[in-house]
Structure 1
Amino acid sequence: MYAGGGSGVLAQALSDVDVSPIEGQSGWLVRNALNDRLGAGRQNGGARYRLDIRLDDKVEGLGQLSNDTITRERRTVRARYQLVDIASGNVLLDATAGSDAGFDVVNSEYAVIAAEQTALENLSQEIADQIVTRVSVRLREAK
C-alpha cells in the first residue's frame, strides 16, 4: 500500500487531504495527530480532499466504593468522519473510529488530571491511526 515511500502514489494522495478544524482540546489533539500522519503541508497546490470530523469525548465513573466514591473512570472518544472530494463535493468515505481508556481515581487530584490527560493524548493518537488507515484504503481503491 505504501510502495514508493514518501513519493509514492498513496503518500501523495494522503498529503492532498486537508483536515478541517475540530472543536475542543481532544479535537486539537486529533487534528494534530492526523496532520502529522497525512503529511500536511507537503502538497504543492490546494488540497484535493477534505476530512470533516466530529468528536464525542466523555468521561464516566466505573468503580465505586460503598460511600459512593468513584475509584476508576473510563474516557471514551468517538469520531464520526467524512472524506470529501473538494472538487465534486462527493463524500468518498463516511465512517467512525473510536477507543477508550481506563484510569484509577486516587487521592491526588494532580495524578487524576495527569492520568486523564495522558489517556486523551493516547486515544487521540489511536483514533488518528484508525482514520488514516481507512482513508488510505479508500484512496488506494480510488487510484
Structure 2
Amino acid sequence: MIRPIALSALALGLTPLLGGCGLHPLYAGGAGGAVARSLAEVEVAPIEGKAGWLVGNALRDQLGATGTPRYRLTVRLDDQISGLGVRGDDSITRERRVLRARYQLTDLADNRTLLDATAGSDAGIDVVQSEYATIAAENTALERLAKIVADEIVTRVAITARNRDLAAPAGAGAAPR
C-alpha cells in the first residue's frame, strides 16, 4: 500500500519537469488545437488497389478532413506476400505479408513538398490446409497492416504540422527554417 502511494507522489512531483525537457503534447488543444486543424486540411489522394482503399479510409478517418484542403497527401503502396516456412515437400507453412508506403505531403498553394517519407509494417500468417482460412488470414493481416501504416503516416504528418507551423492561418506562410 505504501509503495503505490510513494510512486504516485514521485510521479506527481516530477510532472512539472516534463515541460523543461522539451516534451509537449502533440495534440495540444484537442480537436480545436492547431495540429488537429492542420490535419483536417489534408486531402488524401486516391490510392490504388485493395490495400490503397483500406489505407485511404484509415487516413481519412484519422485526419478528419473538413472544408477546403490546403495540403495533399499522396501515397504509393507496396504490398507483398512471401513464403517463409517450407516443408520437405516444398509446401509453405508460414507467410509474411509486408505493406510499405511511400508518401508525400504537398502544400497545394505552391506545390512545395513538405514531407517525403516511408512507413511500413509486416505480419506473419500461418498457412493451413484450408485455403479459405489462409485467405481470410491474409485479408485480416492486410486490414491490420493498413491501420498500422495509416497510424504511422498520420503521426508523421502531425509532427510535421507542429514542427513546420502548418497550423498557421491560411496565407501566413511557414516559419523560417
TM range (shorter): over 0.9
Q: How does 1:9-24 map to 2 (within 5 A)?
A: 9-24=34-49
Q: How does 1:40-119 map to 2 (within 5 A)?
A: 40=65, 43-44=66-67, 46-119=68-141
Q: What CA deviation, in whole Å up to 9, does each residue of 1:17-61 have, x standing for no partner?
A: 000000000000000000010012xx23x1000000100001000
CA distance in 2, matches of 1:138, 1:66: 50
Partner of 2:32: 7
| Number of residues of Structure 1 aligned to a counterpart in Structure 2 | 140
Partner of 1:39: 64
More strand by share: 1
Partner of 1:140: 162
Q: CA deviation at 1:142?
A: 1.7
State the AA in 2 paired with 1:126.
I
Q: Percent identity?
A: 61
TM-score, normalised by the number of residues in structure 2: 0.78
CA distance in 1, matches of 2:31, 2:51: 28
The alignment partner of 2:149 has SS state of helix
Cα RMSD (Å): 0.6
Query: Runs in 1 of length 4+ with deviation above 3 angstroms?
Result: none
The alignment partner of 2:123 has SS state of strand
TM-score, normalised by the number of residues in structure 1: 0.96
CA distance in 1, matches of 2:31, 2:106: 23
CA distance in 1, matches of 2:122, 2:28: 32
The alignment partner of 1:66 has SS state of coil
Partner of 2:55: 30
1:120 aligns with 2:169: no
- Structure 2 residues not aligned, in runs of 5+: 1-25, 166-177
Q: CA deviation at 1:4?
A: 1.2
Higher Cα radius of gyration: 2
Structure scoring higher RCO (CA < 8 A, sep ≥ 6) equals 1
- Structure 1 residues not aligned, in runs of 5+: none
Q: CA deviation at 1:74?
A: 0.5
